[in-house]
Structure 1
């Protein structure tokens, strides 16, 4: 008797029709049984937002005859919640999120809907990986990601992931022959230096447009930013326990416990 195929949940934050998720679905079909639950529209930058004060809709759609797909009115985190609690008959063996159009390296991980979907799965002890390509174009070429995504997903299925950990994988936007391979990294210390461009509508109402510059303050060669700049695929283990363990000892001197 052949082994049962792994059950794979696919989601994203760019919307169910985005080229990135369509490419990821095509790869996952070669590995296991695929169920897709993804936003019905772009939800980039939503972080770990969930829908609490509005109706949540989830409708079956038919974009690929080989997989079951659902278009959800909510956020990426909503998609994972409703998939695992209402749609799927059993817990998926893995959740894959992406492929995101644009970077989710360094500080971007905290804003990312792509990674928040993976984290949401991780909180339910589902092994999860978020995939991103450093190309924001809807016409981005994802072909060079295929073999690496297969490799990573199969490794996770075979070995699992450490408790309370998900993977953040970013691809440089270069031709396949220029990629030097995978590199296990830490998240770079970097941030956005932002400002708001104040403008006015034709009716005289003020509005603001967020602009900014990404600044990498980290010179380490073990970071995701260094890896991507040098044509490696960065793989960063991300924990969703936000406790600052290194600071606990210092705070004990603050006499909180009395």
Structure 2
């Protein structure tokens, strides 16, 4: 398969490199990633300034790679239009430094890059794993990404669905299996720490406490239980369950 790899942690991110090393064993890759850290940028795109694209060499990786002065979604757009000489079979975004579970998928640049591909009717996958101060390891997640890719290629290659893959940070022998599940609840009690800067400017630093309701059968729940989670996502945010209900009320007005 011909694959486009991207991320939101930047062209120098270890997770991207681990994913590239694993996938280029059996696939043809082009890498296009932001030139700097762009985590939590969501689905933003650059419209008021040009994008600067530079070919770079990544040690230990033979595939062509490009840094882009934009967002993850920008990377997908410019790669599809200018950097690839034929149609890509799948876009894979990651491996993200940290899970993309629950409502975090709304803010995630990693997931948004995969959604950008889906908008253009290209199959896509977002890949994430947890990282701690003591452990930064991506090889297990890369292996699972390769495994899911092989299955999807033969049995489920939908061009408008994002496969959101999260791999727990545990030894591979402790992983209990793969759970296909829905997005769970995950919110934050956000607050800001106020400081004074130069000229008495007010500076606000975001802090927050994580809230994770223990809803069973969700990605948030299963990742804690030691499962790899796989959630199909779609960019159509319509709530079809209440579409007719709302229509009956407002179409009469």
The TM-score range, normalised by the shorter chain, is over 0.9
C-alpha distance in structure 1 between counterparts of 2:211 and 2:118, whole Å = 29
Once the 2 structures are TM-superposed, how far is the Cα of residue 217 of structure 1 from its aligned partner? Answer: 2.6
Once the 2 structures are TM-superposed, how far is the Cα of residue 253 of structure 1 from its aligned partner? Answer: 3.5
C-alpha distance in structure 2 between counterparts of 1:190 and 1:179, whole Å = 22
Specify the alignment match of 1:18 in structure 2.
13
Specify the alignment match of 1:74 in structure 2.
70
Q: Pick the aligned partner of 2:233 from 225, 232, 238.
A: 238
The gaps in structure 1 that reach 5 residues or longer are: 1-5
1:73-99, Cα deviation, whole Å (9 max, x unpaired): 000000000000111111211111100
Q: Quick check: 1:140 aligned with 2:136?
A: yes
Task: Write out the 4+ residue segments of structure 1 that deviate beyond 4 Å after TM superposition.
Answer: 136-139
Q: Quick check: 1:50 aligned with 2:45?
A: yes
The gaps in structure 2 that reach 5 residues or longer are: none
Specify the alignment match of 1:174 in structure 2.
170
Q: Mapping of 1:116-131 within 5 angstroms?
A: 116-131=112-127
Specify the alignment match of 1:41 in structure 2.
36
Q: Quick check: 1:255 aligned with 2:250?
A: yes
Q: Quick check: 1:229 aligned with 2:227?
A: no
Once the 2 structures are TM-superposed, how far is the Cα of residue 184 of structure 1 from its aligned partner? Answer: 0.6
1:127 and 1:160 in contact (8 A); partners too:
no
2:124 and 2:159 in contact (8 A); partners too:
no
Q: Provide the TM-score with structure 2 as the length reference.
A: 0.94
C-alpha distance in structure 1 between counterparts of 2:133 and 2:109, whole Å = 17
1:86-120, Cα deviation, whole Å (9 max, x unpaired): 11111211111100001111010000000000000
Once the 2 structures are TM-superposed, how far is the Cα of residue 60 of structure 1 from its aligned partner? Answer: 0.9
Once the 2 structures are TM-superposed, how far is the Cα of residue 124 of structure 1 from its aligned partner? Answer: 1.1
Specify the alignment match of 1:208 in structure 2.
204
C-alpha distance in structure 1 between counterparts of 2:110 and 2:199, whole Å = 37
2:104 and 2:186 in contact (8 A); partners too:
no
1:164 and 1:241 in contact (8 A); partners too:
no
* Aligned-pair Cα RMSD in Å: 1.7
Report the count of equivalent residues: 252
Specify the alignment match of 1:188 in structure 2.
184
